Structure 1
Amino acid sequence: MLVLTFLFKNLVEILILIFLFRVWMYWAINDIYNVFAQFIISISKPIIKYIQSFFPNIKNNELISLFILLFLAFLKYPILVLLQMESLFNHNFIFYIFVTFLTLFKSFGYLVFWLMTIHLISNWIYVKNNDLNYILQKLTNSILEPIQNRFPMTYDTNIIPYIINSTLYFLNFVGIHFFPQFWFLI
């Protein structure tokens, strides 16, 4: 059961990250001709087409992506509890909605943490302008610009990404402290 739990958890986390990428790229960039955007779209397209066969009236793929994201986040915790304990706790629906939003919050924080880390590393070394770097700049700038408008750069050094990563690291420990029973599962 441990192997099955590991495989299910990682598969669902990868799918959640792919659909988070897809929805975030749609709202932040809206450039479907980028090679990296095409890669994310082509990975998620089979799942979207399958879900669209059940709901043919919904033509917006990003709305379907958002529904799939919420559905995956909603099912992740109960199925993992069922796989580990072989019985499901009797929680109310509000609890599962709360865990769904915590799952999305944690996944988005995980995605932002790694995007900021890759952004920082790519700023240290010389990386040519390519499609991945373009996506990385657009996604990280959508987070950095509102903060940088309030805090100017000091001595031509941008420390905002370091502060964001430290804050995300701190928020992860806050989640571990306040929700120890299910933070590692989500």
Structure 2
Amino acid sequence: MNALRFLVEIVFDLFLIVVLLRIWMQAARADYFNPMSQFVVKVTNPIIKPLRSFLPMVGQWDIASLVLAYLVGIGKILVLANIAAGMTPMFSDTLLMGLAVVVFQFLSLLFWLVIIMAIMSWFNRGYNPMMAMIEQLTQPFLAPIRRVIPPIGGLDLSVLVLIVAIQFVRILLSNLFGIGMGL
């Protein structure tokens, strides 16, 4: 059962990451022609395009992608509950847990992108399309922290502050909903 649970979690989490990246890239107005953007669009278009026929964009928010992310979160909860206990949780619990899964996955994605950005900044020379995309995505989270805590002696502490904040919220979600380290 653990091997099946692992595979189910990986499939749901990977697809949810791609859907969340699509939402985040649209909200951040990331470069559409970046190879990472093109990958995300091509993977999600087969499901998003039909959803858009009855769930249109509202401003810069892609409602079809938001609904898809939420449905993937709910689907993960339902499938894992059926694998573990052979029964489905209460409807209200499923709705709340589905939202918690999406938020937790977004925070995990943000955490890893900030870590990757910090490490790549030590070695990056010149333009790198992946680094440019990561900077476009993380800048809205780092900029407010940098306004409060400017770089000190060339050391940017905003990354550390953001990582601590992300981890705090992830631990809080894990404690409240039992998600993260094990559902």
Q: What is the TM-score with the length of structure 2 in the denominator?
A: 0.86
* Deviation of the 1:150 alpha carbon: 2.0
- Which moves more between the two structures, 165-174 or 25-34? 165-174
| Counterpart code for 2:37 | A
Which residue of 2 is the match for residue 100 of structure 1? 98
Which residue of 2 is the match for residue 140 of structure 1? 138
Matched, 1:128 2:126: yes
Query: C-alpha distance in 1, partners of 2:54/2:167?
Result: 41
* Deviation of the 1:138 alpha carbon: 0.8
Which residue of 2 is the match for residue 69 of structure 1? 69
Which residue of 2 is the match for residue 19 of structure 1? 19
Query: C-alpha distance in 2, partners of 1:142/1:127?
Result: 23
Residues 28-177 of structure 1 mapped to structure 2, 5 A cutoff: 28-49=28-49, 52=50, 56-58=53-55, 60=57, 62-89=62-89, 91-93=90-92, 95-177=93-175
Gap regions ≥5 residues in structure 1: none
Summarize deviations over 1:64-92 as a string: whole Å, max 9, x none. Answer: 21211111112211220111111224x24
Q: Residue 62 of structure 2 aligns to a residue in which SS?
A: helix
Contact map agreement 1:73 1:103 (CA 8 A) in 2: yes
How many residues were matched structurally?
180
Summarize deviations over 1:48-105 as a string: whole Å, max 9, x none. Answer: 24xx0x763445493321211111112211220111111224x242x22221221122
| Counterpart code for 2:181 | F
Contact map agreement 2:30 2:137 (CA 8 A) in 1: no
- Which moves more between the two structures, 36-45 or 110-119? 36-45
Contact map agreement 1:80 1:185 (CA 8 A) in 2: no
Q: Percent identity?
A: 21
Query: C-alpha distance in 1, partners of 2:3/2:24?
Result: 31
Higher normalized contact order (CA 8 Å, seq sep 6+, divided by chain length): 1
Query: C-alpha distance in 2, partners of 1:81/1:19?
Result: 22
Cα 1:81–1:127 change in 2 (3 A) is farther
- Which moves more between the two structures, 165-174 or 96-105? 165-174
Gap regions ≥5 residues in structure 2: none
Query: C-alpha distance in 1, partners of 2:134/2:177?
Result: 31
- Which moves more between the two structures, 128-137 or 14-23? 128-137
* Aligned-CA RMSD value: 2.2
Summarize deviations over 1:1-36 as a string: whole Å, max 9, x none. Answer: 333222111111011110110000001024312221
